[in-house]
């Protein structure tokens, strides 16, 4: 399981100060059991910034998955920071979060050249895609090491208690096809306990990348201790 710590930076940036520190968070989530750390260096740097990415990627004890768009400046930075893994994602300036998978058909040549650059540096490459056979076939052509299936649609159906079986089946069939092509399969976006449990039945998926729910839920599980600590200090 990869833990996305972007929203630690979101909280830090809300004050423009240094707490909570994403580098500390990266080491802390590893200590808590995360297998890897995911950070997204967005073009508008709304959460993780260059210095965070540089520091986190240089931690030899961590496996870092850097999410990046196909923007040439971001690619240059990523090649410099040398994370263990990269995941190429689409980026639309006005979106709140990554809203869909890559348009592989439109960006085939560009993505192929990006994958080559990272593979040359022995960085594991992944493409964030919608669950579609057409895209999985293009992924094979592009020789990506991994794909990450966008699970946002499934998560929304589960959360709104709508029928999700068709979407789940699509994800499962795509995972089977990708496995046949010897592509490693990951899943991510919008995952909470319920959707993760549903997806965990798909054996072909070897990695889950989860962010917002883990950080959000942690607030409730951490509040009690922090409030007690503060009350203790005030009493003294
Ligand atoms: N995987 C990818 C490729 C993403 O872009 C994101 C969101 O940044 C996530 C996983 C994590 O999504 P969430 O924060 O909804 O768990």
- The pLDDT score that the predictor gives to residue 97 is 75
Provide the CATH number for the domain around residue 51: 3.20.20.70
Residue 92's pLDDT band (boundaries 50, 70, 90)?
A: confident
Evaluate if residue 40 carries a pLDDT over 80.
yes
- The pLDDT score that the predictor gives to residue 7 is 97
List all residues whose CB is within 6 A of at least one atom of ligand 1. Answer: 4, 6, 40, 67, 87, 89, 97-98, 128, 148, 188-191, 209-213
Quote the ligand 1 centre to 108 CA distance (angstroms).
Answer: 22
Say how many domains are in the chain.
1
Which atom of ligand 1 lies at the shortest distance from residue 2's CA? 10
pTM to 2 decimal places: 0.95
Greater pLDDT, 223 or 98: 223
CA quadruple 94, 11, 186, 69: dihedral sign: positive
Residue percentage of the chain with pLDDT more than 90: 95
**Cα Dmax for the chain:** 66
Quote the ligand 1 centre to 210 CA distance (angstroms).
Answer: 6
Q: How far apart are CA 129 and CA 150, in angstroms?
A: 6
Quote the ligand 1 centre to 121 CA distance (angstroms).
Answer: 24
The two three-digit tokens of residue 135, written as one number: 């895209």
Q: Which of 168, 159, 97, 83 is nearest to 128 (CA)?
A: 97
Q: How far apart are CA 51 and CA 139, in angstroms?
A: 32
Average pLDDT of the residues in 164-192:
98
Question: Other C-beta atoms within 10 Å of 14: how many?
Answer: 8
Domain carrying residue 151 = 2-235
Evaluate if residue 210 carries a pLDDT over 90.
yes
Which atom of ligand 1 lies at the shortest distance from residue 7's CA? 14
Average pLDDT of the residues in 54-66:
98
Residues 121-175: tens digit of each pLDDT: 999 999 999 999 999 999 999 999 999 999 999 999 999 999 999 999 999 999 9
Residue percentage of the chain with pLDDT more than 70: 99
Q: How far apart are the first and last CA of the chain?
A: 41
């Amino acid at each position: 399981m990869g833990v996305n710590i972007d929203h630690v930076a979101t909280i830090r940036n809300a004050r423009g100060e240094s707490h909570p520190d994403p580098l500390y968070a990266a080491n802390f989530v590893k200590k808590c059991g995360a297998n890897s750390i995911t950070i997204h260096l967005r073009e508008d740097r709304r959460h993780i910034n260059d210095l965070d990415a540089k520091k986190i990627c240089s931690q030899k004890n961590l496996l870092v998955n850097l999410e990046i768009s196909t923007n040439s400046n971001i690619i240059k930075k990523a090649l410099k920071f040398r994370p263990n893994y990269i995941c190429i994602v689409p980026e639309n300036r006005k979106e709140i979060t990554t809203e869909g998978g890559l348009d592989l058909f439109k960006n085939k040549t560009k993505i192929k050249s990006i994958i080559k650059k990272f593979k040359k540096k022995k960085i594991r490459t992944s493409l964030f895609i919608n669950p579609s056979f057409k895209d999985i076939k293009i992924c094979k052509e592009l020789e990506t090491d991994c794909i990450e299936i966008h699970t946002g649609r499934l998560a929304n159906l589960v959360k709104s208690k709508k029928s999700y079986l068709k979407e789940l089946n699509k994800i499962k069939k795509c995972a089977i096809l990708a496995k046949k092509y010897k592509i490693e399969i990951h899943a991510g976006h919008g995952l909470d306990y319920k959707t993760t449990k549903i997806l965990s039945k798909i054996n072909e998926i070897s990695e889950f990348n989860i962010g917002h729910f883990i950080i959000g839920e942690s607030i409730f599980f951490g509040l009690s201790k922090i409030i007690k600590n503060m009350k203790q200090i005030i009493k003294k």
